[in-house]
Chain A
Amino acid sequence: MAGGNAGGGHRSPSEPSERIGIADRDGVVGVIMLAPAVIYVLALVAIPFLLAIALSLSDATVGNPGIHHFVGLANFISVVREAAFVFALRNSIIITAATLVLLTILTILQVELLARNFTGKRIAEILLILPWAMPVALAAVGWLWLLDSEFSPIDWILRAVGLLGPGTPLGPANNLYYLGREWLGIGAVVVINVWRTLPLSTIIVLAGRTAIPNELFEQAELDGAGYFRTLLQITLPALGTLLIVAILFTVLVIFGDMTVVALTTRGGPGYTTEILPYWAYLKGIQGGALSQGAAIALFLFPVLLAASILALRMAYRSEGQ
């Protein structure tokens, strides 16, 4: 525009410019806009994934990381034969499944609560969202204290009400040692997982819940439906795919995540609370057996792939409706 005026020609300011800029060329714009995503996927997903496959078939170690010598499926066979593998696989499935069930129920409860108007709703919203906003380090300190073998406030309360300690229902010991027992450890990991994923799934599902026209609920009320009939036959089907997508994405995160176990039980006692991702880290990085670590990590792949495909298909289906 400015160039045209400088050329001395008489042009009204409203006259359209005939110059074709880069933004007008669809082919160029497309390439520019796609490039970051393609580079990201290639550099941080595709190449590491292919590397992992190559590593799992080699005899590389942290001390000697070159992929020179392929050993076939030997790494996979040797990991499967280890006692820890059964624990890790079992716990990964149990922890993910238990988190999923609890998360679904609590998400629906929270969404039902937050979809209503009540005094103090703002404060409730902030409190329920808080776990999401909390720094991981701070959260870890809080949970480690809550679950401490000696100073756990849960134990204090249990002792104070006479449920814990000598001659009480929960046994003669003065503490429950949450992180030192197989099932209490697994339970603790599930609780922490639910605690940190609940805010996000609540926000996603709440967005869907508030999008349901209120008249639908009033109609159900007029039609004589009670609370549970409305919830099961109106609310949940209307949320439908959104709820499933929110839960599936959470599953993806939980199944592949090792931080909670790494910060709490560290897989112990023994291997009883071990999970696949943390075991892969222990073996491959801490233990130096890079190839075996890669092999363990690849056991996660089919599950994550299936969940991703399902989540994406659901997401597209709900979009198409």
Chain B
Amino acid sequence: MAVLEVRGLAKHFGDFKALQGIDLATRDGEFVTIVGPSGCGKTTLMRVIAGLEKPTAGDVMLNGKVITPLPPRARHIAMVFQSYALYPHMSVADNIAFPLKARGVAKGEREALIRWAAKVLGIEALLHRRPARLSGGEKQKVALARAMVRKPALFIFDEPLSSLDAQVRAAARAELRQLHDRTGVTTIYVTHDQIEAVGLGDRVAVMQAGALRQIGSPQELYYEPANTFVASFIGTPPMNLLPRDGVIVGFRPEHALPRAAAPDLADVATFAIRVTRTEFLGSEWLAYGSIDGAFDNAKVLCKLQQDVIGKVKLGEIQDFVVSRALVRFFDKDTGLRTAPVTV
């Protein structure tokens, strides 16, 4: 049980500012995902929290206690690397035992802990194997077991699923979340995949260029993005962002409908869109087009259900409607969310 807090955290590598003033606090037992594009500083943030890097400025606090000067081993933080970093010459059991041996845990207790972790993760049959003979998913479980036996106050996962193939990944994601719900250990989870971040996290922190752009529940990020970066980063496909008269008008592709398909919908914003191409996705369709008039032929994307795709006429300008409650506005210069204007 622990609360992690970072205050004004900055990390510079020479002239490069990897982190510029990060403020972040978890709640007790929370699963926080940190998401952002490559090079946004999320891994650096994890490494500073774990103690592998010294911050240029700012502090890391665990349960209100400043741990910035402490070495990694004194922090009660377990980290699982993207590569899992299993010790290649040790058996699975020895890998899991390593942090316990390093802490001088007695043999009997050590074995009990290894059995416990192996049982929780279902890897009892693998204990005598070498890492080279494990699949990606098995390696991940061993790395998790090794992190668990220490009974850390905080788990840090640095893209733990990105080296798994797509089929295993969904199962591993569910298991990770279940494991968290069972152990209740506060968890920070780094990923570049917004679907993973939104699907796993109690709260999601979005990073860009070394700064935290927004932190909130997946629903907040989806419905109330604080800026154009979050709006375009969260959601598949991302929010349509259409510049007009000094503001940026945004709406989600899945919130648009052809007028013809919803003639009675009230309180809507109307957009004149010329659909040039459609794409079949299985459960729905993507309609690619441009938007006329004041929007200067900006590109626009709509996600349409099977039952309304018949109303779309390729190459013709058609009215599309979006419920006014779902249209968002951003400042053209700062990209920050602004008050609604009439569309």
A237 touches which one: B50, B83, B89 (CB < 8 A)?
B89
Cβ of A105 within 8 Å of any chain B Cβ, yes or no, is: no
Please indicate the chain A residues that have their CB under 8 angstroms from the CB of B87 in the complex.
216, 219-220, 233-234
Binds A, one of B96-104, B235-243, B330-338: B96-104
Please indicate the chain B residues that have their CB under 8 angstroms from the CB of A125 in the complex.
none
In angstroms, how far is the closest chain A Cβ from the Cβ of B14?
A: 14
Cβ of B88 within 8 Å of any chain A Cβ, yes or no, is: yes
Within 8 A of B (CB), among A195-228: 213, 215-216, 218-226
Cβ of B260 within 8 Å of any chain A Cβ, yes or no, is: no
In angstroms, how far is the closest chain A Cβ from the Cβ of B208?
A: 25
Q: Which residue of B lies closest to A218 (CB)?
A: B52
Within 8 A of A (CB), among B30-54: 50-52
**Interface size counted on chain A using CB atoms at 8 A:** 19
Please indicate the chain B residues that have their CB under 8 angstroms from the CB of A226 in the complex.
102
In angstroms, how far is the closest chain B Cβ from the Cβ of A60?
A: 53
Please indicate the chain B residues that have their CB under 8 angstroms from the CB of A224 in the complex.
73, 99, 102-103, 150
B89 touches which one: A213, A225, A240 (CB < 8 A)?
A240
User: A237-B89, A238-B89 in contact; A222/B83 too (CB < 8 A)?
Assistant: no
Contact across chains for B73 and A222 when beta carbons are under 8 A apart: yes
Please indicate the chain A residues that have their CB under 8 angstroms from the CB of B78 in the complex.
222
User: A229-B102, A233-B98 in contact; A222/B77 too (CB < 8 A)?
Assistant: yes
In angstroms, how far is the closest chain A Cβ from the Cβ of B188?
A: 14
A223 touches which one: B51, B52, B89, B98 (CB < 8 A)?
B98
Please indicate the chain B residues that have their CB under 8 angstroms from the CB of A234 in the complex.
87
Please indicate the chain B residues that have their CB under 8 angstroms from the CB of A213 in the complex.
83, 85
Q: Which residue of A lies closest to B99 (CB)?
A: A223
Mark interface residues in B55-82 (1 if CB within 8 Å of A CB, else 0). Answer: 0000000000000000111000111010
User: A218-B52, A221-B72, A221-B73 in contact; A238/B85 too (CB < 8 A)?
Assistant: no
A215–B160 Cα distance when bound, in Å, is: 14
Cβ of B141 within 8 Å of any chain A Cβ, yes or no, is: no
Please indicate the chain B residues that have their CB under 8 angstroms from the CB of A321 in the complex.
132
Listed residue (A218, A224, A238, A321) with the most chain B CB atoms within 10 angstroms of its CB: A224
Contact across chains for A225 and B102 when beta carbons are under 8 A apart: yes
Within 8 A of A (CB), among B108-157: 132, 146, 150
User: A229-B102, A233-B98, A238-B88 in contact; A223/B83 too (CB < 8 A)?
Assistant: no
Q: Which residue of B lies closest to A321 (CB)?
A: B132
Query: Which applies to chain A's interface (DSSP): helix, strand, loop or mixed?
Result: helix
Please indicate the chain B residues that have their CB under 8 angstroms from the CB of A233 in the complex.
87, 90, 98
A220–B87 Cα distance when bound, in Å, is: 9
Please indicate the chain A residues that have their CB under 8 angstroms from the CB of B146 in the complex.
223
Contact across chains for B81 and A223 when beta carbons are under 8 A apart: no
B85 touches which one: A219, A225, A240 (CB < 8 A)?
A219
Contact across chains for B102 and A223 when beta carbons are under 8 A apart: yes
In angstroms, how far is the closest chain A Cβ from the Cβ of B236?
A: 31
Contact across chains for B88 and A219 when beta carbons are under 8 A apart: no
In angstroms, how far is the closest chain A Cβ from the Cβ of B159?
A: 12
Please indicate the chain B residues that have their CB under 8 angstroms from the CB of A240 in the complex.
89
In angstroms, how far is the closest chain A Cβ from the Cβ of B138?
A: 17
A209–B279 Cα distance when bound, in Å, is: 51
In angstroms, how far is the closest chain B Cβ from the Cβ of A68?
A: 58
Q: Which residue of B lies closest to A240 (CB)?
A: B89
In angstroms, how far is the closest chain B Cβ from the Cβ of A88?
A: 40
Contact across chains for B88 and A222 when beta carbons are under 8 A apart: no
A234–B77 Cα distance when bound, in Å, is: 21
A225–B72 Cα distance when bound, in Å, is: 10
A216–B131 Cα distance when bound, in Å, is: 13
Contact across chains for A222 and B89 when beta carbons are under 8 A apart: no
Please indicate the chain B residues that have their CB under 8 angstroms from the CB of A221 in the complex.
52, 71-73
A10–B143 Cα distance when bound, in Å, is: 65
Please indicate the chain B residues that have their CB under 8 angstroms from the CB of A220 in the complex.
87, 98, 102
A218–B99 Cα distance when bound, in Å, is: 12
Listed residue (A213, A220, A238) with the most chain B CB atoms within 10 angstroms of its CB: A220
Contact across chains for B102 and A218 when beta carbons are under 8 A apart: no
Please indicate the chain B residues that have their CB under 8 angstroms from the CB of A219 in the complex.
79, 81, 85, 87
In angstroms, how far is the closest chain B Cβ from the Cβ of A312?
A: 21
Please indicate the chain A residues that have their CB under 8 angstroms from the CB of B150 in the complex.
223-224
Please indicate the chain B residues that have their CB under 8 angstroms from the CB of A238 in the complex.
88-89
Q: Which residue of B lies closest to A215 (CB)?
A: B85
A144–B333 Cα distance when bound, in Å, is: 77
Q: Which residue of B lies closest to A221 (CB)?
A: B72
Please indicate the chain B residues that have their CB under 8 angstroms from the CB of A225 in the complex.
73, 98, 102
**In the complex, given contacts A219-B79, A222-B77, what are 20 additional A-B residue pairs having Cβ atoms less than 8 angstroms apart?**
A215-B81, A215-B85, A216-B85, A218-B52, A219-B81, A220-B87, A221-B72, A222-B51, A222-B52, A222-B79, A223-B99, A224-B73, A224-B102, A224-B103, A225-B98, A229-B101, A229-B102, A233-B98, A238-B88, A240-B89
20 contacts between A and B (CB under 8 A): A213-B83, A215-B81, A215-B83, A216-B85, A218-B72, A218-B85, A219-B79, A221-B71, A222-B50, A222-B73, A222-B79, A223-B98, A224-B102, A224-B103, A224-B150, A225-B73, A225-B98, A225-B102, A229-B101, A233-B98
